[in-house]
């Protein structure tokens, strides 16, 4: 086996026994990037020198007996998280030269744990998109078939994990951006409960929805990353002072007696590919055969989810993105006569079409006279969506559904039709609106060999239930053992 193919837990075991060094492992990952990233385009920045330096430090630390589960592990970071001294573009031209003077809390935590930051992964500009085609920097291809999108917005992170160009990765999820690319690339993705992981240093898209989480090769690896990145942070006022469990302890538990809820509305959705619904249905059978029982549940406000999200997210984005004015961050247009012209030209050339569309939508929906009709109404329906989940979790422990209506689509297929693109998020948006944790785990392949993911959702702060079901399911199946041919 090649070192770059290792999972976090297997790499950790070899590092702990000193059978390999972090330098060997990091070198293998960097060589793998050299060999295949030209075809995939997962990374915006690869920091060979920094990575090798961190690997050397990790080896010293291991030599002194200071190894933790992520010590010496090469990780890819979605380019939406600030990394001190390393360019952080957020997939946007407007930030193409932005070098943050500080680390996001999750990055400080990874560094304290001794992880190696290999580089920054491509993404849809400001995390707005479902295919990574909205990146202002480059195109990322699906490792399973280069004519297809890797999903988005964390497409670079998911493709890097699937193509063994890192051992694990971080993504961010505002409406599905960890789970959907994980699903399309055949890897594991976990969006934690809102407030579980600090958003300090995460470039804000929609602050009431954004959450950072792991994208990994295995369920157990997601638990290891969660152990490191979770917890209250005084620099993020929305992070929650809730105890952080040892997420790995959930992995050893069985699922006998657990109740799985199947939302009937999700399976009635127009445009649901029969191959996806078959894969999910047989996953439910597999989970039942492990001792869980399934019941039908209802999430009656599901039909409003896309409309509500595409009011709330653009509104918050329009406000968050006001800071990119050519003065404080990134590029500036210098041909302008006055400052208003400078703002206009900087923003018109720095932001791509999807970001501009959302700023305009959000500004309109928040303007006087429209606020009540749009933002306020959307917020009211958002509480109904949350209530749907609260009701559902009275009768089940974990909700199971598809991640996306179809497997990955072709590059270019939906890019000119934003509404069709938005509909591809129909199953993932509700977890962000409700603030609950959601996960994607591989559950099949389409007839053309593209991965299909299973979505698991649980109530607030019950990531352990997701990890438990996902881990038992993974053990009983072998989708995770397949690899794309590169």
Q: Are the C-beta atoms of 290 and 472 separated by less than 8 Å?
A: yes
Q: Are the C-beta atoms of 195 and 238 separated by less than 8 Å?
A: yes
Count other Cβ atoms within 10 Å, centred on residue 290.
15
Q: How far is CA 94 from CA 26, 135, 319, in A?
A: 31, 12, 16
Consecutive H or E run containing 439: strand 438-445
Count other Cβ atoms within 10 Å, centred on residue 372.
9
Among this protein's residues, is 379 annotated catalytic? no
Choose, by CB under 6 A, the member of 22, 157, 177, 193 that binds ligand GLN. Answer: 177
Choose, by CB under 6 A, the member of 176, 186, 453, 484 that binds ligand GLN. Answer: 176
Q: Does 127 sit near ligand GLN (CB under 6 A)?
A: yes
Q: Does 437 sit near ligand GLN (CB under 6 A)?
A: no
How far apart are the C-alpha atoms of 183 and 47, rounded to whole Å?
A: 27
The residues in 393-432 that bind ligand GLN, with binding defined as CB under 6 A, are: 425
How far apart are the C-alpha atoms of 178 and 419, rounded to whole Å?
A: 20
**Min separation Cβ 356 and ligand GLN, Å:** 14
Of 21, 78, 430, 440, the catalytic one is 78
3-state secondary structure of 435: coil
Choose the binding region for ligand GLN from 31-39, 44-52, 111-119, 127-135 (rule: CB under 6 A).
127-135
Q: Which of 109, 404, 385 is nearest to 227 (CA)?
A: 109
Using the minimum distance from each CB to ligand GLN, give the nearer residue, 128 or 466. Answer: 128
Q: Does 174 sit near ligand GLN (CB under 6 A)?
A: yes
Choose the binding region for ligand GLN from 81-89, 124-132, 292-300, 338-346 (rule: CB under 6 A).
124-132
Buried b (16+ CB within 10 A) or exposed e, 380-417: ebbeebbebbeebbeebbbbbbbbbbbbbbebebbbee
The residues in 185-214 that bind ligand GLN, with binding defined as CB under 6 A, are: 205
Using the minimum distance from each CB to ligand GLN, give the nearer residue, 177 or 248. Answer: 177
Among this protein's residues, is 410 annotated catalytic? no
Using the minimum distance from each CB to ligand GLN, give the nearer residue, 105 or 130. Answer: 130
How far apart are the C-alpha atoms of 382 and 389, rounded to whole Å?
A: 11
**Min separation Cβ 111 and ligand GLN, Å:** 24
Q: Does 315 sit near ligand GLN (CB under 6 A)?
A: no
Choose, by CB under 6 A, the member of 153, 183, 227, 455 that binds ligand GLN. Answer: 153
Of 177, 198, 220, 230, the catalytic one is 177
**Min separation Cβ 364 and ligand GLN, Å:** 17
Q: Does 130 sit near ligand GLN (CB under 6 A)?
A: yes
Q: Does 132 sit near ligand GLN (CB under 6 A)?
A: no
How far apart are the C-alpha atoms of 361 and 359, rounded to whole Å?
A: 6
**Min separation Cβ 30 and ligand GLN, Å:** 28
Consecutive H or E run containing 116: strand 116-121
Choose, by CB under 6 A, the member of 175, 201, 453, 484 that binds ligand GLN. Answer: 175
Count other Cβ atoms within 10 Å, centred on residue 52.
17
Among this protein's residues, is 78 annotated catalytic? yes
Site of interaction with ligand GLN (CB under 6 A): 127-130, 153, 173-177, 205, 313, 425
Could you list the active site residues? 78, 153, 177
């Amino acid at each position: 086996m090649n070192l770059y193919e290792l999972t976090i837990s297997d790499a950790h075991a070899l590092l702990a026994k000193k059978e390999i060094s972090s330098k060997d492992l990091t070198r293998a990952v960097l060589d793998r990037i050299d060999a295949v990233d030209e075809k995939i385009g997962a990374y915006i920045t690869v920091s060979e020198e920094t990575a090798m330096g961190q690997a050397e430090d990790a080896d010293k630390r291991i030599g002194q007996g200071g190894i933790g589960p992520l010590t010496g592990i090469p990780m890819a970071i979605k380019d939406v998280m600030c990394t001190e001294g390393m360019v952080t573009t957020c997939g946007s031209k407007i930030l193409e030269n932005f070098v943050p003077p500080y680390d996001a809390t999750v990055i400080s935590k990874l560094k304290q744990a001794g992880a190696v930051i290999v580089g920054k992964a491509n993404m849809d500009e400001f995390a707005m998109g479902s295919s990574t085609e909205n990146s202002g920097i480059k195109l990322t291809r699906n490792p399973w078939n280069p004519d297809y999108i890797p999903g988005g917005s964390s497409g670079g992170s998911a493709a890097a994990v699937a193509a063994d160009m890192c051992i694990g990765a971080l993504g961010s999820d505002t409406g599905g951006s960890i789970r959907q690319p994980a699903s399309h690339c055949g890897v594991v993705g976990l969006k934690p409960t809102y407030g579980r992981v600090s958003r300090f240093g995460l470039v804000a898209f929609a602050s009431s929805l954004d959450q950072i989480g792991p994208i990994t090769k295995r369920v157990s690896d997601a638990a290891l990353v969660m152990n490191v990145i979770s917890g209250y942070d005084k620099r993020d006022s929305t992070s929650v002072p809730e105890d952080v469990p040892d997420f790995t302890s959930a992995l050893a538990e069985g699922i006998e007696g657990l109740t799985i809820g199947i939302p009937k509305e999700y399976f009635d959705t127009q445009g649901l590919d029969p191959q996806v619904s078959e894969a999910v249905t047989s996953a439910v059978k597999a989970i039942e055969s492990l001792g869980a029982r399934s019941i039908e549940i209802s999430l009656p406000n599901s039909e409003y989810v896309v409309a509500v999200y595409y009011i709330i997210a653009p509104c918050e984005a329009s406000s968050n993105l006001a800071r990119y004015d050519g003065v404080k961050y990134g590029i500036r247009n210098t041909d302008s006569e006055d400052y208003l012209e400078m703002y206009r030209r900087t923003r018109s050339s720095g932001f791509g079409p999807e970001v501009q569309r959302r700023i305009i939508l959000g500004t309109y929906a928040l303007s006087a006279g429209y606020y009540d009709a749009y933002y306020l109404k959307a917020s009211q329906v958002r509480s109904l969506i949350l209530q749907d989940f609260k009701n559902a979790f009275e009768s089940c422990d974990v909700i199971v559904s598809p991640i996306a209506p179809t497997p990955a689509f072709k590059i270019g297929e939906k890019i000119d039709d934003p509404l069709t693109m938005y509909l591809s998020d129909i199953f993932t948006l509700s977890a962000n609106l409700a603030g609950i944790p959601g996960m994607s785990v591989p559950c099949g392949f389409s007839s053309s060999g593209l991965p299909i993911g299973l979505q698991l959702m649980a109530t607030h702060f019950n990531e352990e239930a997701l990890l438990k079901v996902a881990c038992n399911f993974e053990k009983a199946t072998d989708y995770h053992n397949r690899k794309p041919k590169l």
